[in-house]
Structure 1
């Protein structure tokens, strides 16, 4: 878990504030709400009322540990606490005079009315805006039901997923992906298909942290995407069960069950899903030679089909109010058959058809991963003082075995056959310890420090063979075994404080990197070690009327992804070959961001200008050789200046109509060259996303969402515009215990990557669709849970600074 963000031990004042009371200095009313069994009660609504005229002065809610802190001027008040299935509690005679009022613990009693008789709860917003991060609550988006993590991330503000499943944040793919704040076996394998194993009913929310502080890994040019898994806080036995089916062939089922009693919490979950993901593409390529010109057109039809299993098991135990231990594990397995058919039509310099060839590929694919995670947390008698230890270990294995046949209608051209095999193993061991404590006379400040070690090894064994006279013979340049070791050792220190309306925080992180790539069959070794300091700073100011201003800075690093180092990717299209570059160096980035956030009763708004300066920028370039084969590979080009303005907002237009959206405009200036060829570019582009949700009566809701990417220049050409529209509708059944959801992803089948690439001796134009439109029907049944309804706009948070 992220220290200090995913947990809180002291009231944070995150509840909404009521009307402002002039310029008079305010003091805190703080405490913790518990039930009869001394368990904390999160999200309790608290109102502070004037004892004279019963007018509302301020209000808020408890955090996930039951703590609250509300600001009020000097005066005499009474508090009213209310929460679902508990009797309303009134605390009279609360006098705020010369110092803060600490109510310590406040006990609420369960109502005589059974929880099963209550069917209205407050629904979480789809999008919660914070100064330091954006939070996207997965369950509030109808189109996410029955989907996987990649589908969900497509709907997250600031995040883009291209047609091949590659993630980017603010137009950069150098983003760090975490599960519950830590690396995970679910994102350990080399392909983005790994995230497709993680189903939506396992995910609570997605956090986008655009300018992380020193407590986080420095990895990721533009920040961190953290996928937070569900951790049920309700007592007793409860859970959710889902069944889904769709077209093209989609079928699956899953369950997640949790049992909590006293100090013990246990959970388990399982999902099995079969998916067929058809796609297509077209390419037009022209080669310019000194004395002639050649061209070809190709069409591609492919389908990626597979059966996925995912198991999750774990629990936690509170030994006492100061010591707790949690253990969690996961295992996933997938197998499938991928097919692809490419048809090439070659044309002479007179644009006459000279040859048609067909290339068929069938590939067996298997993936397996497992992980174990331990966490020990110790609290102290002094509030907000905490020490935690985390230990993780996970492994993953993948195997791909492809058979490729190619034929031609040109006389004298023989049919060819190739085999391509890849085996990849990864192990990752992590140890981390963090300590935090309050500082200052009034404990408004905070001191943090921590250490971390991440030991990672990836073994990739690949082989491509030609069928020569009935015998498969290895191709020497495509026969190797690469072992990649990446060991990162880190330590950090942070200090923060809050004085009246001003909060500030500064931190310094040191990371020592020991990275080695070893090509065993060719005895090529590339071993690099480097140590770097990564400073961060954060300042925020709270105005009246629920508005905040924040400025932040951090230094980041993007180490080469291990698959960028592989000389071999695949030979599915032997005229367009993607390969790696073992000599890639890391990219370093200085990131600056300014954020202003404003909240109204039923809406919120965030505007964030940002700037990034990066050196050693990595770009993938396309070059053609003398045999008319295109090679795409990564290189360190030079430097890049990136400017942007991101605007996000959400709100309730009416009780039955809510909307949220985001807009990002950016300019990128890239300067660099490769082998005397200039690859500089200056581009302006923008993206937009909007979600509109309507409620029809109590049982039915409908949602439409859209996303648009404007055209933009690249270092070798142009990427054309792209848009998509999604629809979803949900109907509550079985007295609110069940929900039927019908969704259509990419309604107009328009999510197609279209690009033009130019070089000194070629022109390339391509359209590519990794996965076509699909529709899905999902049935969800909740055990001892009720469908949440209510307002879904206007949630707001000032971040986690300076507590």
Structure 2
């Protein structure tokens, strides 16, 4: 198969010979449109070469445009055409008709060349991982990009990354992964919809895996970052997908995405609408050891939600050096949260009273977000860049609740209450990044980020007294939280083909203030911290590499950690925030080895983390009521080992596994009580993907999380199993999915608190979820399931 356009001398030859042909007198114009045989979609950038019938020599040629059209002018002579494009069979055209000096070939269809694809894999353009200083770079080769799969399936080929059939992404077995597109947040990276379905493998240059971020990234960080780098020559045309889903408990939705790429614009939109229900079974026991009184409770909670969201955005390529992005999203949710909790109060073995507490809650949640981004590439080097971005978001909640207590037996405990919540949160992020590769080995980076979080939560509780609802001043207040974080960073790196080192320093100033307006209780904190980072890597061979890294991280208390007022659904088990909570700081050290053994790829890490002012949830007990609040308690030193791997023994079977062991040493005191102890916890995950005949994929994933000791008791472990099956139709243009989460309803959360004067037990279970969806993809996008997951 001839792919001449890969050679610059051939391109120059085409240009030169085309101009010569135009200069001749008796000319023939050849026109036509190139399409895919299976989908009738246009094929841009294919090679159309014109040869002399007698001498077999190349006369001239051209490439197809973004809509698959081509136009060639030649001198009148005998000729034939060869049309070629990577991944398709070369087509030779020898029969044609000349009419009025024109040859109109109409629609020309190319069929996929499976054998050629196999040959490409063998010749060396295979996907592989390159190890950089603070990240691993998975370069997408033709073995993946020629098959037309989506970005999610490309991610699933990346070592340490796993994507379930439903589209959930984990890194080293952990969720909460941040997805970036070309180094920045984007609505195209939104995991709550099918946005990644509009990005196909042949649009992707590489994927960066960052498990221990450098100073370039904010110090609060996430469990990991996956940065998808798109090729500059993204395929032009229409991409899109639409999905319909149903499930039990109720999970019904319709979602879609549409993407249009031209030479200068990339226009995209997404939408989703549906209804879902999230039930939860609960149990609790409060036992007073001083007087032998016990409160038992059990019930069922629901969060029913109707939702709608839409996204609009565009990338504008002003020229090859400047790209602007503007996008916005609007969502609206209507919530209904019914719950029913049964209570029993015992004194010893004697029943004192039994009652039921019902809740009716309604909430309306508008939210929107918007983004502006400008990326400039300098002419001297495509890696020499400047990027400026601004992001904003708003979330509101107008919620009202009615609680009614009805005595069933024994003493009367009826106590009806009403609550009202008016919540508003606005977040703004402004960011600038500059990267300059001074030489092939030396690179500097610098930048700044300013984040504003502005939150107000007006919460009122009213008790039913003598026929009227009266405001409870002890539980009513308006909480205002404002946080501003300014960060500046600089990094310098040296890297050759074997070894490299990268140093970085980030400075962050945090200005935090909280105010309880009704009581005028204010708390202000302003602190500046340095966050150094150090990364190095050494490449032993193509199959073995080592990385080492150090970073200092921060956990800043969130709104629900600081806000002293919470839902009183169960008024014997109440969680409240702590406005005086301080941030915790962690020094993180990590040594990682990455190696390939045959068809298996493995990654193992030995890590140590030392954390100060550890945030722990502490329970206190008064009048048989358990009050849980976060507190800063001492230090935690942990030593851990983590390993994960992926093994492809055959084309139809993929095995993945993750194992994490953590030994910790806790030290601290709180209210004259010492919390010094050591413990360990471990978790494992084993998954298998099986390719069955008729384009059917089967997936089984088992999870285990061990129990572990806490500062006041223990938390039990659990085992669970997830199941998924997927059927592709029409070469993946239609996809049907069936998924079962927690097949045996065994993912239980059980927590014990054992103290000298009281004991508590908490239990929660979401249960089994079954979903079924069918999707259709058009253009160059694959069908992807829109699951309607909560944003």
Query: TM-score, with normalisation over the residues of structure 1?
Result: 0.76
Instruction: Give the secondary-structure state (helix, strand or coil) at the position aligned to 1:563.
Output: helix
Deviation per CA, 1:550-583, whole angstroms, max 9, x where unpaired? 1100111111112111111110000000001110
Alignment of 1:291-302 (within 5 A): 292-302=291-301
Alignment of 1:148-547 (within 5 A): 152=168, 156-159=171-174, 198-201=192-195, 209-220=210-221, 223-224=223-224, 233-289=234-290, 292-349=291-348, 351-383=349-381, 384-411=383-410, 413-440=412-439, 443-547=440-544
Partner Cα distance (1:456, 1:392) in 2: 12
Partner Cα distance (2:250, 2:438) in 1: 58
Per-residue deviation, 1:360: 0.8
Partner Cα distance (2:251, 2:115) in 1: 32
Per-residue deviation, 1:663: 0.7
Which deviates the most, 251-260 or 677-686? 677-686
Higher relative contact order (CA 8 A, sep 6+): 1
Per-residue deviation, 1:402: 1.0
- In the alignment, structure 1 residue 651 sits paired with structure 2 residue 631: no
What corresponds to 1:591 in structure 2? 588
Compared CA separation, residues 340 and 118, structure 1 to 2 (3 A): farther
What corresponds to 1:74 in structure 2? none
Per-residue deviation, 1:422: 1.5
Deviation per CA, 1:471-501, whole angstroms, max 9, x where unpaired? 2111112111111111111111110111340
Compared CA separation, residues 468 and 451, structure 1 to 2 (3 A): same
What corresponds to 1:622 in structure 2? 619
Structure 2 unaligned segments of length 5 or more: list them. Answer: 1-5, 16-42, 47-83, 92-106, 139-150, 157-161, 785-791
Q: Is the 8 A contact 1:490 1:511 kept in 2?
A: yes
Compared CA separation, residues 586 and 786, structure 1 to 2 (3 A): closer
Deviation per CA, 1:160-195, whole angstroms, max 9, x where unpaired? 6xxxxxx6xxxxxxxx967766689999xxxxxxx9
Instruction: Give the secondary-structure state (helix, strand or coil) at the position aligned to 2:337.
Output: strand
- In the alignment, structure 1 residue 609 sits paired with structure 2 residue 606: yes
What corresponds to 1:762 in structure 2? 758
Q: Is the 8 A contact 2:88 2:113 kept in 1?
A: no
Per-residue deviation, 1:85: 4.8
> What CA RMSD, in Å, does the superposition of the two structures yield over aligned residues?
3.8
Partner Cα distance (1:247, 1:649) in 2: 33
Structure 1 unaligned segments of length 5 or more: list them. Answer: 1-28, 45-80, 89-110, 161-166, 168-175, 188-194, 790-803
Per-residue deviation, 1:399: 2.3
Partner Cα distance (1:312, 1:646) in 2: 38
What corresponds to 1:783 in structure 2? 778
What corresponds to 2:739 in structure 1? 743
Instruction: Give the secondary-structure state (helix, strand or coil) at the position aligned to 1:416.
Output: coil
What corresponds to 2:63 in structure 1? none
Compared CA separation, residues 531 and 301, structure 1 to 2 (3 A): same
Given candidates 758, 769, 773, the residue that maps to 2:768 is: 773
Compared CA separation, residues 410 and 518, structure 1 to 2 (3 A): same
- In the alignment, structure 1 residue 639 sits paired with structure 2 residue 632: no
What corresponds to 1:18 in structure 2? none
Compared CA separation, residues 522 and 540, structure 1 to 2 (3 A): same
Instruction: Give the secondary-structure state (helix, strand or coil) at the position aligned to 1:569.
Output: coil
Partner Cα distance (1:156, 1:522) in 2: 45
Instruction: Give the secondary-structure state (helix, strand or coil) at the position aligned to 1:582.
Output: coil
Compared CA separation, residues 313 and 144, structure 1 to 2 (3 A): farther
Instruction: Give the secondary-structure state (helix, strand or coil) at the position aligned to 2:582.
Output: coil
Partner Cα distance (1:297, 1:127) in 2: 57
Per-residue deviation, 1:364: 0.9
Compared CA separation, residues 586 and 596, structure 1 to 2 (3 A): same
Partner Cα distance (1:580, 1:590) in 2: 26
Q: Is the 8 A contact 2:195 2:270 kept in 1?
A: no
Per-residue deviation, 1:599: 2.3
Deviation per CA, 1:573-619, whole angstroms, max 9, x where unpaired? 00000001110011111110001001245321000111111111110
Per-residue deviation, 1:143: 8.2
Per-residue deviation, 1:310: 1.9
Partner Cα distance (1:33, 1:702) in 2: 46
Partner Cα distance (2:188, 2:568) in 1: 26
Partner Cα distance (1:121, 1:653) in 2: 21
How many residues are paired up?
Answer: 664
Partner Cα distance (1:621, 1:722) in 2: 23
